[in-house]
Amino acid sequence: MKERIEKLRERFAGAGVEALYITNPENRFYLSGFTGTAGSLLLSLNNNYLFTDFRYAEQAAQECPDYQVIVTSGECSEVLREYLTGEGITLLGLEGDYLTYNQFQILKERLDGVELKTVDGMVEELRARKDKGEIALIEEAVRLADEAFQEVLPHIRPGVCEREVALQLEYSMRRMGAEGAAFKTIVASGYRAALPHGVASSRIMAPGDLVILDFGAVYSGYHSDMTRTVVLGKPDKKQEEIYQLVLAAQVSAIEFLRAGVKAQDVDAAARSIIEQAGYGNQFGHSTGHGVGLSIHEKPRLSVKDQTVLEEGMVVTIEPGVYLPGWGGVRIEDTVVVQNGGCRVLTRTPKEELLSTA
Ligand code: ZN
Ligand code: ZN
């Protein structure tokens, strides 16, 4: 924790900011270990403060040995002024991406005389590169999703409702130790498989359907993210063909992925294969995204992202092809970037289009 705080301190001091006020829950957890749901951090050049209310006083004292815990009875901003004045701070960095307009107005009024500057992405950039402990937690979140998939696979059959499958996946992950689902589980069958984010609906699955299952687990705050596409019955030629195309694109990106390459070039490694087959317009989203304390975080493996990937970044690789009226295919693994290559954490096989009925 101390190392993270010092790295951040170097960064905000370098940006000319005298102190940083952290309100984003994931950033707060990353920098303090605090698991409560209400509180904020103030990091000055010399001190670390955690503001929270009576409900979390004891918990914060236990979880955050690197912080002076300040118990507040109302808005944190009331006492914030006192500490800023105490340290003679005149320029405070804020997370503009996470403050509401009203919260900002209140801060502006209460902190009259203190210049406020938004410094977005600073903590998120640190979070992009995971340490060994974080990778181990993501690995466990991946394992929970992999095992839940094995358990639920036999129940993905014609006559079953998409929501029932989503519920079983979530139940299975929770029973095995997950804190919860990483996001609203996607079960998109038949024509709905053409919806890249087809959250499970009341649709009853039918013979011949392609079914996209996109889900993940949360373990100790860290997320996993995987997608498999299955077919209910014997696949037809086109289903096989599109599946193998998406697989080739996914494998191509994984083979290209290593520390030192640009995010956009990983995207291109997958996208070029789908484009060459004539389905470029049917792959309208990014090839992947960082995953960690948030389900979507830096870097983005998109056409535009020029981030140079570093060892320890954890990303998803998830190309897809979606044909309105017909359905779609997506394959997604969670992967750790390493020097000279990468390590695929997701273990569920993907080499063949899985038939479940
Ligand atoms: Zn996903
Ligand atoms: Zn994803």
The rounded percent of the chain whose pLDDT value lies above 70 is 100
Alpha carbon distance 250, 259 (integer Å) = 18
Using the structure block, give the residue that is written with the tokens 């839940």: 148
> What spacing in Å lies between the alpha carbon of 329 and ligand 2's midpoint?
14
> What spacing in Å lies between the alpha carbon of 12 and ligand 1's midpoint?
33
Looking at all shown ligands, the one closest to residue 198's CA atom is 1
| Cβ–Cβ under 8 Å, residues 111 and 76 | no
DSSP character string of 56-95: GHHHHHHH-TTSEEEEESS-HHHHHHHHHHHHT--EEEE-
* CA nearest neighbour of 160 among 236, 232, 239, 228: 232
Q: Against a cut of 0.85, is the pTM above it?
A: yes
> What spacing in Å lies between the alpha carbon of 194 and ligand 1's midpoint?
15
HSE-CB at 169 with a 13 A cutoff on CA atoms is 30
Neighbours of 11 (CB within 10 A): 17
Domains of the chain: 2-126 (3.40.350.10), 132-355 (3.90.230.10)
SS3 208: coil
Sign for the CA dihedral angle at 352, 331, 188, 183 comes to: positive
Q: List, as ranges, residues with CB under 5 A of the ion ligand 2.
A: 225, 316
Q: What is the pLDDT of residues 239-282, one digit of tens each?
A: 999 999 999 999 999 999 999 999 999 999 999 999 999 999 99
> What spacing in Å lies between the alpha carbon of 301 and ligand 2's midpoint?
11
List the alpha helices (DSSP H) in 115-262: 122-128, 132-152, 162-175, 237-256
Structure letter (DSSP) for residue 262: B
pLDDT score at 78: 73
> What spacing in Å lies between the alpha carbon of 217 and ligand 1's midpoint?
11
> What spacing in Å lies between the alpha carbon of 238 and ligand 1's midpoint?
24
> What spacing in Å lies between the alpha carbon of 218 and ligand 1's midpoint?
13
Looking at all shown ligands, the one closest to residue 185's CA atom is 1
Residue 175 scores a pLDDT above 80? yes
Q: What is the pLDDT of residues 104-140, one digit of tens each?
A: 999 999 998 899 999 989 999 999 999 999 999 999 9
> What spacing in Å lies between the alpha carbon of 267 and ligand 2's midpoint?
13
Neighbours of 162 (CB within 10 A): 26
> What spacing in Å lies between the alpha carbon of 145 and ligand 1's midpoint?
11
> What spacing in Å lies between the alpha carbon of 6 and ligand 1's midpoint?
33
